């Protein structure tokens, strides 16, 4: 996993590498610019002999741009650097060195200072096959001003692909906010570690495809420091968390899951969660549902079984269903999923609270199951025992559950998730853009990079619950089950969108149907010829 850092943390790492470890600053800049160039060449095809415009600012981000331009020139492209808002004699430090190396390589620079030369610069931008944004780096704050703002606005009018160096100009590296004009990049190449703003919205929508390059900062420096530690989940992290498969296994070895939920009008939720758990590999899945709805679920479900339970007059689960649930496969049941489609009748809510507090199995709590603890989240805490609880609220459910300030959640999403995971001793899956998985045993949070607006439709959360619960049933650690389930849920949606060519039309059942094929491509990606 790669750690997500703030601009201040990255500055501290740069300082440690240069001032303490003795690595020359220009050596880091050279590695950064070269990494940008090589990533561009690997990402954009048909750039041979192409005209490229590199927009460079006066700082180190511009220095990275000068190095990238020089490497692109070495590789046969025709880069032109446009120095925006400064003159060459105003450059200092490593940026000045990079400019000197660029001119020594007979690189061409067009000066656009205080508007001078801007008309020529505009024409060059219009004729370019690629534009590299090296104007402002991660240390910038607030909206671009003056000529810089004009340049960014001009970029919005072009159809030319854009590669951003470290972060798109105008984007806050910490918050993901854009206070004014902001570059919409097709590719962002960041240095050493990704930044929080790359993944927090709206920043994620400005970044395009994100890549990070090693610039030579020692690994112990990158992992140093204390406090909250967000990480972005990578494919290899998911593979390591999937349940083992052995040739001699039978269905009883692959876990037994009981999904408790369903009420009149909400049978689809418990059906989707049960089907998803089967797809995730759970050996035996049973849907525990109100008695009068059992025939409906028998028709909806083929691979999953059903357990008719005592119900209320409202055709929702009754409190006295507890005994039947507690006696279901005693000593053999390996996990529970509670809440999908359960409804909000007081009797049902009392049942949910008793299940969570008295049945000590790995348990996923979602949807109406979370509602049972609104305003009394501390009732969820199961002492200091090993974590067995996974909570999967979206933002609205989380706020109702905890009473948190919405503004605080928006401004400090990672910190708030971490605080409540540790307070409740539960794995917290805070769904949204992005989904964050918080570890109750540490100050680590895991940021999911997969998924898109295609998932914004009813039932997709129930499928996610089923995937995670299916992994729980197979003995996967709750944190690992959550990380793997969230990532693969989004991956499956991305796979479908790629196949269909559109984010429109996805429904929750498609995730269940397509999951095996998507997982196959994930585990065994096609080899490029």
Q: Return phi, psi of residue 349, to 5°.
A: -65, -40
Question: Residue 34 pLDDT > 60, yes or no?
Answer: yes
Band (528; pLDDT cuts 50, 70, 90): low
CATH number of 255-519: 3.40.1190.20
How far CA 444 is from CA of 210, 224, 242, in Å, comes to 22, 14, 20
Residues 44, 161: contact at Cβ < 8 Å? yes
Q: What is the pLDDT of residue 116?
A: 66
Could you read off the pLDDT of 108-160 as tens digits, one per residue? 999 997 766 788 888 999 999 999 999 999 988 888 998 899 999 999 999 99
Question: Residue 247 pLDDT > 80, yes or no?
Answer: no
**If you average pLDDT over every residue of the chain, what do you get?**
94
3-state secondary structure of 76: coil
Could you read off the pLDDT of 391-413 as tens digits, one per residue? 999 999 999 999 999 999 999 99
- Element (DSSP H or E) covering residue 259: strand 256-260
Band (330; pLDDT cuts 50, 70, 90): confident
Q: What is the pLDDT of residue 382?
A: 76
226 vs 72: which has the higher pLDDT: 72
* Residue spans per domain, the chain: 2-225, 255-519
Of the listed ranges 97-106, 382-391, 423-432, the least confidently predicted one is 382-391
Question: Residue 69 pLDDT > 90, yes or no?
Answer: yes
Question: Residue 251 pLDDT > 80, yes or no?
Answer: no
Topology annotation, domain 2-225: Rossmann fold (3.40.50)
Could you read off the pLDDT of 168-216 as tens digits, one per residue? 999 999 999 998 999 999 999 999 999 999 999 999 999 999 999 999 9
Residue spans of beta strands (DSSP E) within 94-143: 108-112, 130-134
Tell me the pTM.
0.94
CA torsion 462-469-307-325 (nearest 10°) is -120
Q: What is the pLDDT of residue 249?
A: 66
Could you read off the pLDDT of 413-468 as tens digits, one per residue? 999 999 999 999 999 999 999 999 999 999 999 999 999 999 999 999 999 999 99
């Amino acid at each position: 996993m790669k750690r997500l850092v703030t601009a201040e943390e990255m500055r501290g790492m740069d300082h440690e590498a240069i001032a303490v470890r003795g690595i020359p600053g220009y050596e880091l800049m050279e590695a950064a610019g070269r990494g940008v160039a090589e990533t561009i060449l690997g990402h954009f095809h048909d750039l041979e002999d192409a005209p490229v415009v590199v927009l460079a600012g006066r700082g180190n981000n511009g220095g990275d741009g000068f190095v990238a331009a020089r490497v692109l020139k070495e590789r046969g492209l025709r880069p032109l650097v446009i120095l925006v808002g400064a003159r060459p004699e105003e450059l200092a430090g490593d940026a000045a060195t990079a400019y000197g190396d660029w001119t020594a390589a007979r690189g061409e620079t067009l000066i656009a200072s205080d508007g001078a030369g801007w008309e020529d610069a505009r024409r060059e931008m219009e004729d370019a096959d690629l534009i590299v944004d090296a104007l402002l780096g991660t240390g910038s704050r607030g909206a671009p001003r003056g000529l810089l703002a004009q340049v960014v606005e001009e970029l919005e009018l072009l159809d030319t692909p854009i590669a951003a160096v470290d972060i798109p100009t105008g984007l806050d590296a910490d918050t993901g906010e854009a206070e004014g004009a902001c570059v919409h990049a097709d590719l962002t190449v960041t240095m050493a570690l990704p930044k929080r703003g790359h993944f927090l919205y709206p920043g994620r929508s400005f970044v395009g495809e994100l890549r990070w390059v090693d610039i030579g900062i020692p690994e112990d420096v990158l992992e140093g420091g204390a406090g909250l530690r967000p990480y972005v989940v990578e494919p290899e992290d998911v593979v390591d968390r999937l349940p083992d498969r052995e040739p001699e296994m039978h269905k009883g070895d692959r876990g037994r899951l009981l999904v408790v939920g369903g009420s009149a009008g909400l049978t689809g939720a418990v059906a989707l969660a049960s089907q998803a758990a089967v797809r995730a590999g759970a050996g035996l899945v049973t849907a525990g549902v109100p008695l009068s709805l059992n025939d409906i679920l028998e028709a909806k479900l083929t691979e999953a079984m059903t357990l008719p339970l005592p119900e209320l007059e409202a055709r929702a689960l009754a409190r006295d269903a507890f005994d039947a649930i507690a006696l279901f496969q005693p000593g053999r049941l390996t996990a529970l999923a509670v809440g999908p489609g359960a409804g909000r009748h007081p009797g049902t809510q009392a049942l949910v609270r008793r299940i969570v507090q008295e049945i000590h199995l790995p348990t996923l709590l979602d949807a109406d199951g979370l509602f049972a603890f609104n305003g009394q989240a501390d009732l969820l805490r199961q002492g200091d025992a090993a974590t067995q609880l996974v909570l999967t609220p979206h933002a609205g459910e989380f706020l109702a559950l905890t009473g948190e300030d919405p503004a605080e959640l928006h401004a400090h999403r990672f910190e708030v998730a971490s605080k409540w995971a540790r307070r409740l001793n539960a794995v917290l899956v805070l769904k949204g853009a992005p989904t964050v998985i918080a570890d109750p045993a540490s100050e680590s949070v895991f940021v999911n990079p997969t998924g898109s607006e295609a998932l914004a439709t009813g039932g997709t959360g129930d499928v996610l619950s089923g995937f995670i619960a299916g992994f729980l049933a197979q003995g996967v650690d709750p944190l690992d089950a959550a990380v793997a389930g969230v990532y693969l849920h989004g991956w499956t949606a991305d796979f479908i969108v790629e196949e269909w060519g559109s984010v429109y039309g996805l429904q929750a059942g498609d995730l269940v149907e397509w999951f095996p094929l998507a997982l196959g491509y994930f585990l065994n990606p096609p080899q490029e010829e």
